[in-house]
Amino acid sequence: MSDLISAEAKTWIGRSAEPVRIEISRRDIVKYSIATEQQQQKYLDGDEAPAMFMFGALRPVVPMDQLGPDGIAAETFLPPLPLKRVMAGGTEMQFHRPVKPGDVLIATKSLHDLIAKQGKSGPLIFVVTKLRVETEGGELVLEEQQTRIFR
Protein backbone atom coordinates (compact mmCIF):
# COMPACT_ATOMS: atom_id res chain seq x y z
CA MET A 1 0.00 0.00 0.00
CA SER A 2 2.79 2.44 0.80
CA ASP A 3 3.86 2.64 -2.86
CA LEU A 4 0.31 3.43 -4.08
CA ILE A 5 0.76 7.14 -3.34
CA SER A 6 3.90 8.52 -4.97
CA ALA A 7 6.40 10.72 -3.16
CA GLU A 8 5.47 13.51 -5.60
CA ALA A 9 1.77 13.18 -4.74
CA LYS A 10 2.59 13.34 -1.02
CA THR A 11 4.32 16.71 -1.54
CA TRP A 12 0.87 18.11 -2.41
CA ILE A 13 -0.36 17.62 1.17
CA GLY A 14 -0.79 21.08 2.69
CA ARG A 15 -0.89 22.79 -0.71
CA SER A 16 -3.69 25.25 -1.47
CA ALA A 17 -5.40 25.96 -4.76
CA GLU A 18 -5.73 29.47 -6.10
CA PRO A 19 -8.49 31.22 -4.09
CA VAL A 20 -11.86 31.59 -5.84
CA ARG A 21 -13.71 34.91 -5.52
CA ILE A 22 -17.49 34.84 -5.84
CA GLU A 23 -20.07 37.60 -5.58
CA ILE A 24 -23.39 36.48 -4.17
CA SER A 25 -26.49 38.01 -5.74
CA ARG A 26 -30.04 37.93 -4.44
CA ARG A 27 -31.07 36.55 -7.86
CA ASP A 28 -28.68 33.57 -7.50
CA ILE A 29 -30.09 32.78 -4.06
CA VAL A 30 -33.70 33.03 -5.31
CA LYS A 31 -32.99 30.80 -8.34
CA TYR A 32 -31.26 28.20 -6.18
CA SER A 33 -34.05 28.31 -3.59
CA ILE A 34 -36.78 27.79 -6.18
CA ALA A 35 -34.82 25.01 -7.93
CA THR A 36 -34.29 23.15 -4.65
CA GLU A 37 -37.90 23.68 -3.49
CA GLN A 38 -37.03 25.62 -0.36
CA GLN A 39 -39.98 26.37 1.91
CA GLN A 40 -38.70 29.18 4.11
CA GLN A 41 -39.54 32.66 2.87
CA LYS A 42 -36.11 34.08 3.76
CA TYR A 43 -34.62 31.77 1.11
CA LEU A 44 -37.33 32.32 -1.49
CA ASP A 45 -36.95 36.10 -1.08
CA GLY A 46 -33.16 35.78 -1.38
CA ASP A 47 -32.48 37.34 2.03
CA GLU A 48 -30.26 34.40 3.01
CA ALA A 49 -28.84 31.40 1.14
CA PRO A 50 -29.84 27.87 2.17
CA ALA A 51 -27.04 25.81 3.69
CA MET A 52 -26.13 23.82 0.56
CA PHE A 53 -26.10 26.89 -1.71
CA MET A 54 -22.30 27.15 -1.54
CA PHE A 55 -21.88 23.57 -2.74
CA GLY A 56 -23.06 24.56 -6.21
CA ALA A 57 -22.00 28.20 -6.15
CA LEU A 58 -18.32 27.26 -6.12
CA ARG A 59 -18.53 24.76 -8.98
CA PRO A 60 -16.95 26.05 -12.18
CA VAL A 61 -19.19 26.79 -15.15
CA VAL A 62 -17.69 24.87 -18.06
CA PRO A 63 -18.81 23.73 -21.54
CA MET A 64 -20.68 20.41 -21.70
CA ASP A 65 -17.71 18.62 -23.28
CA GLN A 66 -15.64 19.38 -20.16
CA LEU A 67 -18.06 17.59 -17.82
CA GLY A 68 -17.33 14.09 -16.59
CA PRO A 69 -19.76 11.17 -16.85
CA ASP A 70 -21.26 12.27 -13.52
CA GLY A 71 -22.08 15.75 -14.91
CA ILE A 72 -19.43 17.49 -12.79
CA ALA A 73 -16.39 19.35 -14.09
CA ALA A 74 -13.15 17.45 -13.65
CA GLU A 75 -11.17 18.20 -10.49
CA THR A 76 -8.10 20.25 -11.35
CA PHE A 77 -6.55 20.52 -7.90
CA LEU A 78 -5.19 17.04 -7.34
CA PRO A 79 -1.82 15.36 -7.72
CA PRO A 80 -1.54 12.52 -10.23
CA LEU A 81 -3.05 9.38 -8.67
CA PRO A 82 -2.94 5.83 -10.08
CA LEU A 83 -6.61 5.10 -9.30
CA LYS A 84 -9.22 6.91 -11.41
CA ARG A 85 -12.73 5.92 -10.29
CA VAL A 86 -14.05 8.42 -7.73
CA MET A 87 -16.70 7.97 -5.04
CA ALA A 88 -17.99 10.30 -2.37
CA GLY A 89 -16.53 9.53 1.03
CA GLY A 90 -18.25 12.15 3.17
CA THR A 91 -18.50 15.86 3.88
CA GLU A 92 -18.41 17.74 7.17
CA MET A 93 -19.47 21.38 7.11
CA GLN A 94 -19.30 24.00 9.80
CA PHE A 95 -21.28 27.18 9.13
CA HIS A 96 -20.12 30.29 10.94
CA ARG A 97 -22.67 32.70 9.51
CA PRO A 98 -25.31 32.77 6.77
CA VAL A 99 -24.46 33.68 3.19
CA LYS A 100 -26.31 36.88 2.24
CA PRO A 101 -26.88 38.76 -0.99
CA GLY A 102 -24.08 41.23 -1.64
CA ASP A 103 -21.46 39.05 0.05
CA VAL A 104 -18.14 38.84 -1.75
CA LEU A 105 -16.60 35.55 -0.70
CA ILE A 106 -13.13 34.08 -1.05
CA ALA A 107 -12.94 30.28 -1.06
CA THR A 108 -9.64 28.48 -0.61
CA LYS A 109 -9.28 24.72 -1.00
CA SER A 110 -6.33 22.78 0.37
CA LEU A 111 -5.22 19.17 0.22
CA HIS A 112 -5.26 17.94 3.80
CA ASP A 113 -4.31 14.26 3.41
CA LEU A 114 -3.83 11.27 1.11
CA ILE A 115 -4.42 7.86 2.69
CA ALA A 116 -3.91 4.47 1.01
CA LYS A 117 -5.98 1.51 2.23
CA GLN A 118 -6.82 -1.97 1.05
CA GLY A 119 -10.55 -2.47 0.47
CA LYS A 120 -12.47 -5.70 -0.11
CA SER A 121 -12.35 -5.17 -3.87
CA GLY A 122 -8.84 -3.72 -4.11
CA PRO A 123 -6.71 -0.70 -3.25
CA LEU A 124 -8.25 2.64 -2.28
CA ILE A 125 -6.91 6.16 -1.91
CA PHE A 126 -8.76 8.52 0.42
CA VAL A 127 -8.30 12.15 -0.63
CA VAL A 128 -9.15 14.64 2.14
CA THR A 129 -9.56 18.30 1.19
CA LYS A 130 -10.47 21.30 3.30
CA LEU A 131 -12.34 24.36 2.11
CA ARG A 132 -12.32 27.69 3.90
CA VAL A 133 -14.77 30.40 2.83
CA GLU A 134 -14.38 33.94 4.14
CA THR A 135 -15.75 37.34 3.24
CA GLU A 136 -13.39 39.69 1.45
CA GLY A 137 -12.97 41.36 4.83
CA GLY A 138 -11.75 38.11 6.40
CA GLU A 139 -14.89 37.06 8.31
CA LEU A 140 -15.16 33.26 8.41
CA VAL A 141 -18.33 31.97 6.72
CA LEU A 142 -17.86 28.24 6.18
CA GLU A 143 -15.37 25.43 6.76
CA GLU A 144 -15.74 22.11 4.99
CA GLN A 145 -13.79 18.87 5.06
CA GLN A 146 -14.51 16.55 2.16
CA THR A 147 -13.30 12.99 1.61
CA ARG A 148 -13.31 11.37 -1.80
CA ILE A 149 -12.36 7.76 -2.40
CA PHE A 150 -10.39 6.72 -5.47
CA ARG A 151 -10.47 3.08 -6.51
Alpha-carbon torsion (136, 142, 145, 151), positive or negative: negative
Residue 95 has pLDDT above 70, yes or no: yes
Q: Pick left, alpha or beta for residue 57 (phi over 0 → left; psi -120 to 50 → alpha; otherwise beta).
A: alpha
pTM of the model: 0.86
- Structure letter (DSSP) for residue 74: P
As a whole number, mean pLDDT of residues 34-51 equals 96
As a whole number, mean pLDDT of residues 6-18 equals 95
Q: List domains and CATH numbers for the chain.
A: 7-150 (3.10.129.10)
> CA 139, CA 118: separation in Å to the nearest integer?
41
Q: In whole numbers, what is the pLDDT of the chain averaged over residues?
A: 92
Which pLDDT belongs to residue 82?
94
Which pLDDT belongs to residue 2?
62
Which pLDDT belongs to residue 1?
57
- Using an 8 Å Cβ cutoff, are 105 and 133 in contact? yes
Longest Cα–Cα distance in the chain: 53
Which pLDDT belongs to residue 53?
94
> CA 15, CA 107: separation in Å to the nearest integer?
14
Query: Which residue, 142, 41, 50, is CA-closest to 100?
Result: 50
As a whole number, mean pLDDT of residues 27-38 equals 97
> CA 95, CA 141: separation in Å to the nearest integer?
6
Residue 104 has pLDDT above 90, yes or no: yes
As a whole number, mean pLDDT of residues 117-137 equals 95
Which pLDDT belongs to residue 66?
83
59-92: pLDDT as tens digits: 878 888 888 777 777 777 889 999 988 899 999 9
- How many Cβ atoms from other residues are within 10 Å of residue 102's Cβ? 8
Residue 13 has pLDDT above 80, yes or no: yes
